[in-house]
Structure 1
Amino acid sequence: MSRIKFILFWLGAFCITTLSFGQQETKPAKCTNPGGGILTGGFFDISPRVGCLDFQTNSGTAIVSNAKDLVGGTNFTNLGYIFNFKDGDDITKFPPTLETSRTFTQPGTYWIVQGMNINSTAYITCNAFELIQTEVPDVDISSCGTNEITLTFKKSAVNDKHSGYRILWGDGTEANFSGLAPTSFPFTRTHTYSGTPSGQPLIVGRYAKGCNSSPFPFNFNTNNKPKISELEGLTGGTSNKITMVEGSDGKPYIIEQKQKNGTWTDTGIKLTRNTGETFKTTTLTGFNPTVEYCFRLKTLDGCNNPILSNEVCTIIPKANVTSPKEVKIDWNSPDPAVVKYTIPYSESPTGDNPNNGQPVNPTATTYIFDALDCKKKYNFQINAYIGTAPDQVIIKSPTIIVDPKSSAKLPPKTIGTVSVINTNTIKFSVYEAGNKANNYIFYRSEGGASNFVEVKQSTENFYDDRSVEPSKQQYCYKVEYQDECGNTSEPSPSFCSIFLTSARPNTLNWTPFVIPTPDTFPVDYYIETIDESGIITTVDATANTTLGVKTQIELLLDSPGNNGTATFRIRGVQKAKIDVGGGSIIDFPFEAYSNEYTFITPAQLYIPTAFSPNSDGINDAFIAQGRYIVQFNLEVYDRWGNVIFESRKLDDGWNGTTSDGVSPAPAGNYGFKIFGLDPAGQKFEKVGSVTLIR
């Protein structure tokens, strides 16, 4: 059929189509290559994309809407649809409809064709509507008299279609899981009841495209099972005491144990709670105190299936004395369901001054105690609580002894500054977050070397080193400290002075400012100038340790009263994270100063070659001009080498007279010698001749 004929046919075919019961999952070939002069293009929506056949509905309706042309507009005519299009159907002969919805009752995939005319050309596009037939899960249920129920989701064609399940256990709780694939089956889910379910337990199968199956009901009758209510580590963790409650009177329960993540084994020991007893205890021995163990109680029901108690696992505490006042206690989490920990302690070995300790966040497995007396020893224990009373389970660790007089080295100091105070003093200061140590031992090396030698012991956390020459070399320091019980710390990292030099003209170079703690930020360097009056000015900032300062030098040299010197120093600033108490951490800026470095400009002289003392106000005297001169001498000689004029002032010149200072000297050439000292103390000298004009 030609393109024009198809357009005319489409315009005339508005009859309602009848329901077609066949479907196909794959996209019909004509949707991609319609032929007959028809092109593919345009857009439309189907709502919903998926329908569900379940216990509540036996049909699904697809609604088409939002038809668009090739560019997302509405520049089209003769819009129509073909519902349930399949391979083998002829687009040009299959009558379209003006309907915008269609109801289907059979599961499957239905392809819907949209047709329209755009600029006298026929276009089609296809979308799919899927109707899913839901099916209840295929499940085996096993209880056999325990208060646990096991659901086994079998490997079957029905379950392969499910992507997840919702299980309503009937006791107010539920389980949801998704993301299943056919390879996930078979699998089991187990639930423990505390009593008879108050509602009907149900299972609902879920499909990836949003459908749910009819609820599948199941029944379960509960019985009590044994429970371990307390586990306590004894004799340093080599023994464990187990307390059993609940279970059946007179029934023996086997104690099983395993290493954490290991395999359960029978201990050969049984617990039997007699009639009238609320609990029963026993103690097991022969354990490695560094290994985590778990315990449970086991018996068999009438179907020879195991009835198991709750599992309880040991707590292994470890103590690290970090200061004479502080101990850090770490432990393993015995169970993810722990609701709180308490840390009871007392003095050892007397048990004096017992304290139940403060509750600790259940997600934490660290406790810091900061009120030790280093003259005493302490007993500490970790208590974990699972659940709430009266069904609470308590796990107690073995007692550990904490001795503040630890032989281990105290941690080193890692925050400090080395700052140049003046030409012969450096201050090394150590930052203290809390109380100062009892004694500090300071060490020094010279020139950045590693040969540290002890230079001072002090009760203060700083050292003013007055036996240094900061402008000649770098000095580095280390510190150790001692607590009130005589424990000594590890040596600190090196803290070094900022050594300022110049490797080439008009350039400053300096060693970096470093705070060795890991919680620091990049260093900012501030270049400061110091004028003749001692006024300090910041002239630049950089993150580098090299900087050209030619412009700053010239500005200083041009300032009034300058003697030819330009003096600089470096101020280094580095932020570090510090604890200021109360759990507050701030970024605190620490700073240090370098030695001063001075650029010295040599003496500059400007000497005339002739002068005419005729009182006309122009070149009436032989006067040398210059700057950056500390000491000045001028001598003028006659033709026989006799000194006829001397001056010690730069602005005091020769007026052309003889040695008597009155008689005019004859015209001619006269020798001179100028000499003196520049700001650096360097000698300068200039010898030449000047012409006296009459």
Structure 2
Amino acid sequence: MRVLRLWLMESGVKTKGLTGWMSLAMGLCMLMGSSQFAQGQNACANPRFPGDFSVDKAKVCVGSSVNIVGVPNNLISAQYNFEYDGKSTIDKVTLAPTKAHTYSVPGSYTIIQSGAGNGAGTGTIFCKEVIVLATDQVKFTVNICSGRRAILVPDGSTLGQYDSYEIRWGDGTVERKTRAELTNQPSHTYSNSSNQTPTIQLQGVYNPPADCKSTTSLATISLVGAATQPTISSLKTTSDNTIDIDYQVSTGVSVQLYQKINGAYVSTGKTSTGGGTFTVQTDAKQVQCFQVVTQDACNSTPMKSDEVCSLVLDAKAANKQNDLSWQPYAGTATQFRFYRIRRNGAVNGQVPSRTTSTYSDNTNITCGTQYCYSLEATVGPTTVTSQQVCVNGINDGTPGDIEGVVVSIENNRPRIVASLPTTSASSTYTLVVSRANGSSGSYQQVGTLVNQNSYVDDSADPSAGSYCYQVSYLSACGLTSKPSEPVCTVFLTSNSAKGIDWSATSPFTPSTVAEYIVEVIDSVNNTKREIRVSSNTHLDLTDADLESQTQKYRIITASSDGTVSYSNFYTFRSEVKIWLPDAFTPDGDGMNEVFLAKGIYLDQFRMTIFDRWGEVVFTTTDKLQGWDGTINGQRALEGQYLYRIEVIDQTNLKTVRTGGVLLVRSKR
């Protein structure tokens, strides 16, 4: 109640008489009885003794100082509160002699002054309003346009209460815009010599007395040069519902893909920046047309590529040819150059006229072979490629003859190799192999080969006789060539005691036999040697050949063109031979003194002599040792004795010979 007390004292000085005091007392009672007084009142409202001061700025930005100026010299003990709440009595307000203050929060503030003097006595009060302005960033984005042009797009929610807005475009250009001008999205075009990546700055600006700016917002952009017409470099149909479109456009320029629907172009919604590829899901079995169109945020006049349309190819197989058809190219016709037909990836033909829509391929069409075609159109800088279509060739011509057949014994089985026909052949075929036992037998099918020309007859035993074969070619269309001329295995055997023989049938066709060569494989060390016998089919073995009980042979048949065929292996075996006398005379005259077994091819030997009662009187395993007619060193009695000879020959075969021998002594 300091202010009230000072006011009463001052009233006592100036008021004289009962009337003055009563009026004062009545006013105080009314004041104190009011609810406003009880709750506190704005000390700035109707002060009894007003003070006085000024501020250097009635408007300031957040972070700026407000300074008290213009305080009367006769106002003493002046104190201030820079953020008076507008409702507290003066004795409830914290005051300080400070005459400067910095605000950190925007808003409207009341500065209250309290002091004494100023010609009005103590208890003077004076208030002033100060506006503190926000300095928040004015946010924005930039639309980059072709032709090195940029459009500034402000965020309307961040415009604040600025009086104007300052744009620094980053090339030395500075512009001041009103709120309305900024809202209309100002644009700027950069010269060709300016920086390619300028930084744009934007600030909100307050007019005096605040005379301050917002925090700067920045955006660095990359300029885009003048747009050129986009180009579709290729359009390729990759499946029944997919088309790939490669395009080229100036760096940084945005494009959108358009597709013709019911005669009018509509956006596909596919966009990109710079060159690249668009993949479109559509009915690719129908012709589809496209354009690539430039676009930017500046509503620049768009530039369109030439119209490019897909190709849809159809292929049908006919006898000895495949017929192709398509709809003539429907895109920009002025740049059309030619069609190119590819078969299995290789160029098969070229058509110069855009209006031509058929092509027949009759080059080496074979039955059952798959042929895959694609159609290319070269249109200016664009290559349009259809989806690949495939057909199986048809050829009703009977296959040509089997060119040649050879049969040879390999790994103890006949192996037949056929040379395929050179005319009307197909990539998919079957060889039918038939066999006869000997050259006069009837032929029966023994096997087939699919897409192979070599057959091994596992059911034949070439050491049992000669086999003859014929081969037929069956095309994928079910047409069969006539059977080949027969070829027969050469069968090697022996028809005499000292020779080998082989069959004279030819293992070749159409070649003939030029000569036979006998291959001899040594039974001891397995070495080989060859004996040329010209056209003979018999070879007499020499004594040298017969020195070993067994010898292995094979016939090599050579044709006139150098082809060879092998026969079966044959092992010539001589029987073990043993010579024994019927009687011997161990009488000391030096003649026929020993009973001795002689033979050839003997490897292991045992001889046992028995008397008439079956008792063993002599035994030996030495084939060079005989019985001298003694028993335990005593002369044996004359008469008949029995013998048993066991021999294992060089082929490990056992032979047993039994018989009787007569022991005779001379009469002297």
- TM-score strictly above 0.5: no
TM-score by length of 1: 0.35
TM-score by length of 2: 0.37
Please say which structure displays the higher CA radius of gyration.
2
